[in-house]
Amino acid sequence: MAVTSGLWTVDKKNTMKLNFKKSGTGPPLVILHGLFGSADNWFSIARELENEYTLYLVDQRNHGDSPHSDEWNYKVMVEDLRELLDEEGLEKVFLMGHSMGGKTVMNFATQYPERVEKLIVADIAPRYYPVHHQTILEGLNSLDLKTIQSRKEADDQLAKYISILGIRQFLLKSLTRDSNGFAWKINLPVITQNIENVGEELAEGSVYPGPTLFLAGANSTYIQQKDLPDILEHFPNYELEFVQNAGHWLHAEQPHAVVQEMRRFLG
């Protein structure tokens, strides 16, 4: 069943299928969010492109409105994406992912290169990243959702761990209300237990030969000079562009610059 809101069609299929939001007309462009995020993070980008592409904004498993699962790694997330493309009858797509989503699309493109027309990877490299979300996870797990009465109260408690308001606002987008009060959309216990999987490197020898754009935040450290040989090994047909005045969340900090780079590369 699909529920249509405005120009967006929200997928509400079987419980084990990914939730996604679809808009626009033209060649299919599939976008995957990063850790702790959701499809909603890419609405402003999609609005700029929906006259040129059919946008599929996807909630990865254990995020957004997609199903929760005890199994959470890039192997299953790649197969989630393949199943979505199969169900939608999409033989070949433009594919983009940010951070964790970037790792998912890199893995997908190297395993199913025939399904990817062009690839965009936002602010992540193929290498291994050590766990660096401990403070965030500690803060999220510290919230007693049974006693919290308001979002303001949740923000005040989270501020003890995370001082930057913008990061707290981003994280609290995954806090929702149900019949029992507040609840997480993200599968916080499974993410906490399996957080090391997020930093996993691409398999040795995996290659996507198609056109690939790496978009990096100029103020971010996620893509560094030392990563270029590794990127070249896996993506020999790559280009790298830095988005000025942007950190890791480049699509939120400089959306117009990101759209401009996407148009240039995909067009």
Residues annotated as part of the active site = 99, 248
The DSSP annotation for 34-46 comes to -TT--GGGGHHHH
Q: Is 223 exposed, middle or buried (0-12, 13-18, 19+ CB in 10 A)?
A: buried
Q: Which amino acid is at 43?
A: F
Going by C-alpha positions, the residue among 72, 66, 62 that lies closest to residue 21 is 66
Query: For residue 236, which phi and psi values (nearest 5 degrees)?
Result: -65, -20
Q: Which amino acid is at 208?
A: Y
Cβ pair 46, 31 in contact under 8 A: yes
4: left (phi over 0), alpha (psi -120 to 50) or beta: beta
Q: Which amino acid is at 188?
A: L
Q: Which amino acid is at 14?
A: N
Token representation of residue 204: 């040795």
Q: How far apart are CA 39 and CA 26, in angstroms?
A: 19
Strand ranges for the chain from DSSP E: 2-5, 8-11, 20-24, 28-32, 54-58, 93-98, 116-122, 175-178, 181-184, 212-217, 238-243
Place of tokens 């950190």: 247
Q: How far apart are CA 122 and CA 233, in angstroms?
A: 18
